[in-house]
Amino acid sequence: MENINTGATRTLSAMFDTRAEADRAIAALQAAGIADVVLTGGDNPGYGSVERDVAIDTRTHEKGFFESIGDFFFPEEDRYAYAEGLNRGGYLVTVSNIASDQYETALDILDDEGAVDLDAREGEWRQEGWSGYDPALGDTTAYAAERVETDTYVARDWAPLEGDLNDDGRIDVVEERLLVSKREAEGGRVRVRSYVRETPVEQDVELRSERVSVERRAVDRPASDADFAERTIEAREYVEAPVVHKDARVVEEINLNKDVETHVETVRDTVRKTEVEIEDERGNIIDRDLDADRR
């Protein structure tokens, strides 16, 4: 899956093995309000359904797919990979003008609907002989392999290694150079989501309550006129009741930070160079060191 950032908006592209998966992804994107979606390879029979043998003009097919996605802003190496996937019967879904608040939604939809791991798929193709994109040679290697009847791959459109004598009597000595570039690929993501959960709690509190009791006791003393006056006495009971208050406090902060690490990786490959042997049947030595004769 490829991510192209064009400022305020982004572009995503993803390969799918079946038309059903691609159609589901497009429908889900449009349902989410993401309408700028283009399907390439709509007439393909499905990934792996195309027989790549010598009877098919492989270069013409690959080039046609390569040119069909020429309007998209892909890096050159990804453009060749997408053209190869289309040539093998797959489907390319390209989503452009994605707003920043819709980017994660679009990415999740493409992942959920079965977008293929393009890096892993390229590794499989290279094991089969696919040459891919070579920045040192431009687009000459994009279509430089075709399957022959022995089920092996042979390179073409290269300068001859052994060298054929050309019209002006000159043999070109060809030497390959290894050029290593870098591209950014997503390695995963970390997502932090907050939500509210209610937890039952309890706490003991001691409450005081009053109770009025009536006490009567027998006495025997002389009474006066004042004792015959009407009187009323009363006492009130008081009880304590619990009062609950809640105090919300922020107890933790969670931030996402990135630590950038660099490492050195050794890239090993082979380069080719034309070796020239000169045979002079006249018995003269032509390859001698001329500086030795001057000593």
Contact of 23 with 46, CB cutoff 8 Å: no
Specify whether the backbone of 185 is left (phi greater than 0), alpha (psi in -120 to 50) or beta.
Answer: beta
Residues with Cβ within 8 Å of residue 19, at least 6 apart in sequence: 42, 44, 46, 91
Both tokens of 192, joined, read 């932090």
- In the prediction, which pLDDT does 271 show? 86
* pLDDT value, residue 158: 33
CA distance 28 to 22: 10
How does DSSP classify residue 101?
G
Q: What is the pLDDT of residue 139?
A: 45
Distance CA 293, CA 285 (A): 13
Counting Cα atoms < 13 Å in the Cβ hemisphere of 168 gives 2
What angle (nearest 5°) sits at the alpha carbon of residue 179, between those of residues 173 and 181? Answer: 160
Token code pair at residue 33: 């309000």
Per-residue pLDDT of the chain (295 residues; tens, 9 = 90+): 655 555 556 788 899 999 999 999 999 999 999 878 888 888 888 888 876 643 334 444 444 555 556 555 566 677 788 888 888 889 999 888 888 888 899 999 999 999 999 888 888 888 888 877 666 545 433 333 333 232 323 233 333 444 444 556 677 888 888 888 888 888 788 888 888 888 898 999 999 999 989 999 998 889 888 888 888 989 999 999 999 888 899 989 988 888 888 889 898 888 888 888 887 777 655 554 444 444 4
- Check residue 204 and give its pLDDT: 92
| Spatial CB neighbours of 205, under 8 Å, sequence gap ≥ 6 | 242
How many Å is the maximal CA-CA distance in the chain? 169
State the DSSP string of 31-99: HTT---EEEE-TT---TT-S--STTS-HHHHHHHHHHHTTTS---HHHHHHHHHHHHTT-EEEEEEEEE
DSSP state of 16: E
Tokens encoding 68: 């069909």
